[in-house]
Each structure stands twice: as C-alpha cells, then as structure tokens.
Structure 1
Amino acid sequence: MAVTQAQSLAGCPDKCGDVDIPYPFGVGVQPGTSRNCFLDQSFNLTCDNATSTLYFEKHPVSNISLQQSQMDISMLISKGCYNRTGKFHDLYTKGFTISSTQNKFLSIGCDALGIIRFNKNFTHYSGCVALCDTDKPPPKDMIDKTCSGTGCCHVDIPAGMNNISFYAASVDNHTNVWRFNNCSAAFVARNDWFSFSLDYLQNFPIDRAPLVVDWTVSNVTCQTAANSSNEEDFACKSNTDCVDSSDGVGYTCTCKSGFQGNPYHPSGCHDVDECSRPNNCSMPNQCRNFNGTYQCSCPSGYKGDGYTNGRGCTLDAPQSNQQLLILIIALGISVALLVVITLISTLYWSHKRRILKQLKERNFEQNGGYMLLQQLSQHQGYSDKTKIFTEVELNDATNNFDQSRIIGHGGQGTVYKGILPDNTLVAIKKSKVEGNSRQIKDFINEVFVLSQINHRNVVKLLGCCLETDVPLLVYEFVDNGTLLKHIDPSKNELSFTWETRLRIAAETAEAISYLHSSASIPIIHRDIKSTNILLDHNLKAKVSDFGASRLIPLDETHVTTMVQGTFGYLDPEYLHIGQLNDKSDVYSFGVVLIELLTGNKAIEFRWPEHVNLAMHFVSSMRENQFWEILDKRILEQKNAKQLKEVALLAMRCVRVKGDERPTMKEVAKELEGLIAMDKHPWMKNEDLMLEESEYLLGHLPNLDGAIIGAGTLACYDCMLKEIASEIADGR
C-alpha cells in the first residue's frame, strides 16, 4: 500500500503553497482538539496565506525532507558599501543545526571581510577575506566560477552549530578607490547553489541565499527516549528505526526495510507490497508478500530458489513427462465436462424458453387478449393506431418497474414513467391485482374504447402488453400532473388564473362532447373528475382513465349497469336507478366546474351539514353566498360576469334530474362562447346578461325548484343516503 511521506495530522494543513508540511512539522492547532499540529515548538511553522509562503521563524521554507531530516530555508544577504558595514543577520534554529556538510560561508568583493559568529553567545568566530588589484579587475578567465580568494572567498561551517550571525565588512574600510567595486557581501549558502561570476563585482543582484538545516527530535539519544516511561516522549512510531544524530544532539526516525510512510506520524510506517512492484522474483506470479518483506518460490515441476540473483527457477526434467501426462488427462476431463455442461445448458434454456412461451400465452389469454382481439376484429385500423409492446421493451423503459418511476395511481392500476429506445417519454399503467376478472374486463374495455378515440384533448393510447402477469397500457406522457394538483390550495398556493381555468374547462367539455356526439360509437366516460384531467407542459387539458367507460350503441339512449364511479362526482340519478346515460358525465363535469370556481375538492369533511361539494355549492347559492364560496385566487372585477355565467352553468349541470341538465355539446358551446366574448368585447350584451346575473346574485332564495328548490334538495338527500349500500363497487 502506497503511503504519502508528506503526511500531516488529521485536519491539519498538509501544504502551504507548493511546500509539503509533514509531521512532526505543523501549522496551528488540530481542528476540534487542543492538540498542536506539530510535535513541539521546534517544529512550529507559520503559513502566510496571503503569499502562500511557509516560514521557519522569519525565514521562508522551500522544502522539508523526512528521509534526509533536512529543511531548506533562505536568509537575507548582508551587504556593505563604501565605508558602511553590512547588517547583522541572525539565524536561531531552536535546537536544530546548520548543516556542516551542505553549507558554506562566502564573502564577495574586492575589499570584503565576511565575519560569521556561532553558538548561543556568539563566542566562536570565523570568516574570510576577498581582495582584488586596485587598478583593474582580475582577468575573467582566471576567477570566473571559482571562489579562491580573489573577489570571492569561502569557509566551511563547523559541525554542531545551531545559531549563527554574520555580516559584511571591509578590510581597509573602503579607503582605496576601486573603479569597478566598492561593495561587499556575506552570506551562508547551500554548497551546490552559488557559482561566482566576475559580474558580481560590478553588481551583486541577489538578496537571499538558500541554506540547509539539519533537524532532529529532542536533545536525548534513542535509548534514553525509548526507555522513557511516557510513550509520547518517543517520536518513532510503529515499524520504524531510531538513529542517533551524528551532527549535534537528538535523534531521527526512519521506516524499517520493507515499510514506507511517515515514521513520526501516529499511524507509523506501513508495509510495502513488493509483489505488486518490480522485485527480485524470477517468476512474478510466484511472489508472496509478508509484513516487511516478500518471498520468491518456484512452481511445481521447477527447481531453484526463485530469486533472479540466486538460482532462479529451472524445469525439473524427471517430472516434466509425468506433468505432461497429468496435463493431457486434465485437459481431456475438462473438455468432456465442458461438452456435458453445454448440452445440459442447451436443454435447460430450451425448456425454459418453452415454459416462458407457454406462460406468455397463458398470460395473454388470462389478460383478455382473445377477448380484445375479438372486439377489435370488427374495427379496421386498430393495428395502425396501437402497438403491441413486449415485456422486455417495457421492463427496459421503466428500469424493471422501479418504485422511483411511479408517477401516480389510477383507478385500475399504478402508472409508471417510461423512456422508449427513441427517447420518447410514455406513461405505462400496470393493473393493481393479478387475475382480477373485473379489472381485466375494465382493462380490455379501456383498450377498446381508446382505440376508437382520436382527439387532441384525450390522452392518446400508444399500445399495450398482454404477455405479462398483469396487463399493461402505454400512453403518451402528460408531464404537468392532474388538474386537482393545480387548483387545490393545500398543494399549490399560487394556482393559475381564471382565464386558464376557463380554457381547461372548455377543452375538457369539448373532449367529453366529442365522446358523446362525434365518436364512431358514443362513449360515456363514467368517471369524469379533476384527477382524471391531466395537463401537459402548455397546461393543455387531456382526459384520461377510460377503464370504467362504456360504448352506447346509436339506437340506445341509456344502458343499465352496476353503479360505478367516484363519490362526490357520481350522478345521483344514476346512483338511484342504475341507468347510465350521457347526462351522468354532465353531472360529473358540473362538479369539476364547481371545483374550478371554489378551489375545493369534491369531498370535504369540513361541511358537516352536507355530503359533498355539489350540495354545499347549491346550498351556498340559495343563501346568497356566491362570492364567499369562490376561490379567492381568481376573484377579479373583470372576471365577475364570467364567474356568474359559469356558476349558472355548473348549477344546471348538477341538477338532480338528468333530463333537466344540458348536453355536453351545449356545455362546450356555452364555455367557448364565454371565452369568445372575453376575447371580443363587442360581442358582449349587457342587457342580455343583466337578468341572469341578478337572478344569480339577488334572488337565489326564489330559484325555481327544478334548479335548487326544497323538493329537489330533499330528493338529493334521500338519494345520497343510499350511497353506502349501492356504491360498494365504485372507486
């Protein structure tokens, strides 16, 4: 496992600019603790975030090496000119030493005296003198790139020095006049850094010089530190060796052979997997890694020690023939087993495919496939309108009907969002209960009904799948949710404008009118409600969920069926006598109009005196509370007349007696007329509307009984009492 050597404590900065900060060095305090990011104050560094510069005391740091236990810093150069002595420059290394093998002290100039002092009280001195001829500079080819005393001199740094101070001075106090040089410089620099040039006597442009500091831990030996009663006093962690300093005091730590990492870090050094990198094994696959080492070996049939610098691995001749025979026998057995396994697999998959085919055929029959084909055989063009999807296609489209793809629950099943291979978005409805004959019949009915419909405001059926456990329908994807979601204040505080609501009502009415009057065979939806009216991205209405719909032959005005529908939208006359006709959809649509006007849901339990929204609306109208029950989000002065007209229309739609309700064609025409009047003000006739508006707002208590009279309400109440017993099969 490779471990970065420049490893800091958890949460501590591991870099400052481009310089790595390995522990035991550190900056600041470990986050969330009171522990320093460094081992002790000797290793405390500072990072100037503004310049991304790392400092040891006041000196910039350019590199820290764990392997060499060295740190590269830079110091200012002391310069003296004319009769002025250069400034003193000090370096206090806090227990570390100035490397005697990596640095030297230099002085530059023609009257240059470089002085360096050592140790805490600067009691030890050293230095050198650099001189030149006063008349002219020395020949360039004689002194360039050398530092032998002419123009440049140097001395070694004594071992074990941890504090230094140096400055540049003059031998003759610059009393002689040099035309080419009257300044001197003194500095400590890394051995391989400085190369003298004669140009430096004219001008010395350098301000800082790099030098190397040797660092160690503590001021005791390895043995003393290891024997300490406090384990924290010993800096060398697991899988490390301790090395006493040869230049000064203290000790350093290194990783043992076969280990790598930061030997000072609390996690210690980690094993190197030699088998995963170039090693000494003659056969790489015969390498075994151990903690701190590895071992090479030879495979069976070979002899030797496995090491490239040893005897390696060579073929053992006496065993080769025997191994060849064993190999041939093993190969023969393997081929025979492979043939047997292939044969068994082929038979298994053939059997499985046959069973799967039989299962799909059985599902097709149970899902009403033959019933559907029988009904559709009498209608041409079905195959051009609707595609038969395979189970694989719909599984891929819905990610195997993943729960995250569910977008709703319809009356007959769960609806999933799907993506076909051509990136077409679709809605796929899956029946809720497997093998439920009633739901299968509703499913087949929905396919058959939708195959007869081609209208812009009706959700388009793209196809179906009958070979699965439960039948599947594939529709166009309508992406903006249900009408109820947009008008219910608990789900949408903003909702949309009255103009949009009126347009949606007109589009829905036109679609239902088409079903009643323009389809090849009249269709009664039987479950018109705000959750079955979907909106696309342009808020265009789409009528959906035809599982409960019925086809009405042209020579019949009504059919007698088991009562089916949604409570709150259910026609009370249909509920009472069980006879279904197109006026049942008119009643349900009237409830949707009331929802659009009031913003309330069809069933609200906050009206204890009324069963549903239609009764509450009628009662409120009788009590002249029309404006109070309207949705406050659509109340505008300019909408008043339209609101009155739509309220009157809604009341006519929810009359108890079906014969007294308008047809959907009349409803659609009246709504389109209201929209046209709003678009074309010259079409409005104030006199024609005045009587009906006053009739709605001022004289509701005297409304004709056929509309909301006491007798009608009483009849309404008596019919609704039978809901508990007669709607058992509704939704």
Structure 2
Amino acid sequence: MIMKLVLLLIISFLCLTAEASPPLEYLVKPNCQSQCGNVVIPFPFGIGESCYLNEWYSVKCSDISSGGATAKPFLNHTKLNLELLNVSLKHQTVTVYSPIASYDQQGGGSTSQPSINLDQSPFVFSSLDNIFMVLGCGHAQLMDHENIWAGCTSICNHSYTAQRCYGINCCQTTIPSTDSYYLNNYRVSFAPDGERNNDSTSTTHAFLVDRNWVSRNFTKPEDVAGVNYAPLSLFWMIKEGDNASSDCKGTIAYYSSMIGSYVRYPCDCQVRQEGNPYLSGGCHVVKECANCWGTCDYNYEFDNQSSGSYHIEYYCMTKDRLRPLILGFSIGGGSLLLLLGSFVLYKVVRKKREIRRKRQFFKQNGGLLLEQQNSSNQVAIEKTKIFTSKELEKATDNFNLNRILGQGGQGTVYKGMLTDGRIVAVKKSMIVDESQIEHFINEIVILSQINHRNIVGLLGCCLETEVPLLVYEFISNGTLFQRIHTQDADFLLSWEMRLQIAIEIAGALAYLHSACSIPVYHRDIKSTNILLDEKYRAKVSDFGTSRSISIDQTHLTTLVQGTFGYLDPEYFQSSQFTEKSDVYSFGVVLVELLTGQKPISSTRSQEEKSLATHFILSLQESRLFDILDAQVVNEGRKEEIMAVAYLAYRCLNLNGRKRPTMKEVTLELEHIRVPLPPLIVMQNFEENECIIMDITRPLDSVSSSTMSCLNHSKVSSSDEQPLLFNTL
C-alpha cells in the first residue's frame, strides 16, 4: 500500500495529465456570459447580442422559478424554444427536452400529439445518440412527413414487472440514417393491437430519447410515464456562409448544395491545443505543453463514458540529459524520506484505527450492556478473563474449520489451546442484529455468577472482534445426545451411568432454581446442551437464552423460545416461563435416557410423533417395557426403572403446578440410586389405585386428561406400572 502511494507521488511529479476541461473563458466570445445555471454555453451558441453565430444559436437564460433560484437556458429561436440541457463541442450535439406523445387506449385517440420540426434549422435528430421508445401496449411509428421512419410493438402484460425494456409493456428501436439524408422532423402515429388492448385502461407513450440517458436513469418503464418530457440529442451543423472560425480546417459539416445533403466533418483544435475551435483564436496550447522544457507528447485513451470516443492525455518529456539525473537523486531522496514518513504515519494511523475498531466492536457486542448489568456484581465479572483477539486466533489456528466442535443457533464452538497449555472451547457467536446481543451478554452475566461442578465453567470472553467470543472449559466426551443416539459397540451407556447423569443434571438445575443468589431459568434444557467430561460426568451448557429473575417473581413472560420436542406445552400456550418449564424439558431428557429414542421422530405415528406423548401413552397402555432401551432393561432393576419412569411421568404433566420441583426430582433420584433411608414400596390401592394424568400431545394437537389405573399385581417383563414411594 505504501509503495503504491510512493509510486503515485513519483508519477505525479514526472507526468502532468490533461484531463481537466479548458477554462470557461476559452469557450465564449469576450465579455459574453459563459453559462446559464449549471449549463455551459460555448460558442457558436451564446447568450446576448453578438455572442452567438446566428439566431439559430441564440440562447435565452430564463429563471422559471418564482423565487429566482435556478436559471435555465432555452434555444431562443421562435421556431424551437427548447430547454437546453447540455452542449457538446466534442460531439457537436446539444441535449434538449423533447415532448412525449400519448395515446388513450380506452378513448381510442391521442391525448397529446407533440412533435418537433427542425426544417430550415441547422439541427437534425442524431441517429447515433437517440432511440425510439414505446411505453404501454400496442404499436407506434415514427413518421417523417408521410414516411415511416421507425416503429416497434409492445406486448401487453400488466402482471409482468420488467426492470428494463424488453418488448413487454415497453419496446425500443434505433433510428436509421443514410449518408444523404438526416431526420429533421417527426411525428408519432399509434396503431394499437386491438385484440390485446381493447379492454385496457392504460395510456401508451412514444418518444425519441437520448440512449445514454436511458442507460443511466431508466430503471422501470413506468418511471417515465408520468414525465411529459424526455432528454433528446440534436446534431448541429454549420451551414455554408457561416464563418465560424479560422482554426477549423476544411469544411465543418456543411450542407452541400451540389449533392443536396449534409457533409459532416469534425471540427477540433490541433494536437497539443485545447479550447473552442469555433472561435477565431479560440484554441490554445495545453498547459502541460506550455510549461514543458522538452518534448510534449500524448497518448490516445479510449473513453467508455463518451459513446466509445477517444481523448488525448498529454505528458512532458525533457531533452535535458542532466535534468533526469538531478530529478532522479532528488526524487530518490525525497521518496526515501516520504517512505519512512509514510511508514511511521501508517503505523500510527493503523494503531489508532485498530483501537477505534476495538472500541466500536466492544460497544457493538454489548460491552456497555455488560458493564451495566455487572455494576452491582463486580466480584463475579472480575473472575472472568478478558482475552484479546490475537490470543484466541492463535489458540484456534485462526478459527480453522477442522477445530469446530459443534454449531447451534447461538454460534459455532471451536477447540483451542491457550498459551499455558489449557484446552478450551471457544464459542464464536453468530450475532447479526442488536436483538441477539442481549442473549450473548446474558450468558456471560449468568455464568460468571455460577460455580457448580455440573455446569460448564466460563473462563473468559473477548468483545473486541467483529463477533463476540466466549471461552469455556473444554468438555471432552461430546454431548449426551451423541452418546444416547449414536452409541458404538465399544462403549454403551450403562443403567448406572444413565441414572448418575440424570442425578447430575437434576442437581445442576436445582442449583440454578434455588441455590443461586438470583434464581436462573435455563429455558433450553435438551440432550445436546448436556456435555460429558472424561469421566462421563454431566455438564449443563448453553445459557444464551437463560434468564435470571428476582426472588419474588414466579414466572417470566417472554417470546416463546426453545427446542421442539422439549418445549413445555403450558409455556408454549401462555408465554409464561416458570421453573416447572425446565422440569418438563428435563422430563423429556429423562425419557431419552430410558428409551434411547429421539424427542421427535417421523417413524412413529402422528399421534405419538412427540417422545413425551409416546412415552405417556405407552406407560398408560402397559407398553412401557416395549419402548425402553435394551441396555436399560438388561441392567436396571425393575423397581428402579419403574420409579424413574413414574418420576418422568410426573415431570411431563401438562399442568405445571402438578410437576415436582427440581429439588424434589434430585432427592427422588438420589433415593432411587441409594435408598437412604431404606426405600419401601407402598402399594396403597385404596388411596392411589388410579392416577389421573394429563396426556401431553404434540403442540399442534388437543391435550386431554386420562385416568390410568396402574395395577402393580400385573407387573411383568412387558407390563410394568409406576409405584408410590414413601420413606420411613
């Protein structure tokens, strides 16, 4: 970048280009007005007496606004009186506003039929610069007296919304020209396609228009329909007897009476000159050549913006043998100083820009919100390290795709190694708008206040990057979802491990609900958010959608968020999230551990597509052991399995108030694993013979209540019933 800058500066010292337009005083006669409003008026055109070649080139500068704001030029001849938009000496054209002809399809007649007659004038319609366009439906012809000069047909289709003119609701064609004749007057004739347009209520428009204006400004056909005028290019010619300038060599687009047609020749200043060739003495040596010590040379450059023409670029070449040597040493020394200065300046600017970008990202990524939320809990946030972007780029090998551990709705997680050798998980959040920033900051605030062996620990964060980053402890054995649903033959989750994992998850949730200084609702409990470490201990993760509440609150009213299959139906219907909503989601995870089945499955019937519904119906229809995982059936004691199943059954109750708390769930699971005090099965059929249970249907189904009589006396390998447990 610096070398490019130095080279540009050196080239600017050696080469003087000539792309700037000549001064306005070179373009007009002495003491004449050079422009009107924003339009330059060069000779042979002119404003005021003796400032123009003849009356055809006379220009009137008129202020059409009542406030006297913008002056506009008009061709002053009584036969023309056209507003002048531009004068090009180079292309020998003027651009004026031309009227648009209209045809009322419903009335069957022209609403307006304007035309321009250039007979006897030095102007003709430029076939090179103009095209004929038709907007609307039907056919229109460009007529020269009674001869058809051009025409096109537009097909009617009101449902078609084209951005350009392709023949549907709009068509265009070029204007033919010959060596012996130029178009100098026209009118428009309409011939609508009756079969397609009789019932049309639209209006058809036809007009000549400058093709360059169409390509630059024409985006939709209907954009022009409401305009009464369109830009049009006229080619102007100097007739015989009009002595324009002695600088123009040869004839200047004369009308030849011998051959009865116009003969067009360009009129321009000589090489190395600029100015107005139509003025006597109007051409001057270009400034690059006037100040050149040696030879003034030039190159032809192709100009795509000027109808494919060329312009000349001048530069100076010295003949002095000593001067290049002096210039070489001077420029070399100056360039070295410039390079050193530029390098220092570049470093300073880059450092300031980097600091400014980091501040901008810090604010964009919720840094101010983080400071605000932690102003009352400074101790917790101080425990969280603030990493630099360079540290995390190095740790993740510039976020190599091979380092990806997993992806979710809140971001992508990469495996990384810090400089001290610790293996970490770096979460790169996918924040695309301000509504997502709160989730990210919320996760930092919640995790910074949590210290539990079964909750993923937050090590730090980075806010100075384009997307925010979180750094967690690395959990090596993947997710519980992977272990349940993609088990391999070398390792199977035993019943004891499943029961232990369920106890650890329940304990972590009980801690969040009741042991934290401020209760926390996770709001997205699912097996993919439960990680397993090297000893297969459960770690609850992903607190992006979690919420902390004040102690006196019983619920949160929020937009429904969660994962289908784990989502509490009561929360889905009321938008009120309570601690019992986490209990429901935990109940689904518990059923996953029991059955080894996914929370949503298309292989099951529509009624039992949801695992929760499938489990409850199977339990109530005495089919529980038909859906259990083989590992559970082979290793678990029937009493333990039935106790866990009944606990999951209660967690999945549609009525949140009837669900146990996570603290109660934890205690019951602990008692099932280690019955201390001894666990006694109480078969109280008189009081608990039948259990009334709300069946959880899929979210798009109607829920209902069913009475289930669970008779323990019929327990078999395929027919197990829930038991009631009391402690002595």
TM-score by length of 2: 0.49
- TM-score, with length taken from structure 1: 0.49
